Amino acid sequence: MSAKIMVVDDSGLSRRTLRRVLETAGHTVVEADEGMAALEAYFLEKPDLVFLDLVMKGMYGLDVLAKLREMDARARVVIASADVQHSTRRLAEEAGALAFVTKPFVAEQVLAAVDAALAGGQDIEAE
């Protein structure tokens, strides 16, 4: 299944790496380099899934996640971060993230997270 996926990361290298992995798998990619741009792009592009970094200039990733969930309770978000602490992962899950992928990215892990998030997200009922 092909999806429109937004990649939110202040690292150009991370965005390019995810773009290459996702486009090779047949997905369409839109990018944002910081939190406010991500919120605007989400509203305009209505992506099926968001890959969201945690540590960015401006807004912290969990704040972006909270705002995305306010805008759209069904927003599907995968955290993509080098922060591998269990407490960070727990906070992300509690905030509504569907999965957590660590940097540096491994294509198989990224695509497994995409498949799981898209499959899991389809069962979410609008409230």
* Chain segment 16-37, per-residue pLDDT in tens: 999 999 999 999 999 999 999 9
Q: Is 36 among the domain residues?
A: yes
Q: What is the DSSP string of 54-117?
A: SS-SSS-HHHHHHHHHHH-TT--EEEEES---HHHHHHHHHTT-SEEEESSP-HHHHHHHHHHH
Domain of residue 77, residue span: 4-120
Q: Is 125 among the domain residues?
A: no
| Segments of the chain with pLDDT less than 70 | 121-127
pLDDT at 121 (0 to 100): 53
**Domain holding 10: CATH number?**
3.40.50.2300
Q: Is 127 among the domain residues?
A: no
Q: Is 60 among the domain residues?
A: yes
Please tell me the total count of domains within the chain: 1
Q: Is 11 among the domain residues?
A: yes
Q: Is 126 among the domain residues?
A: no
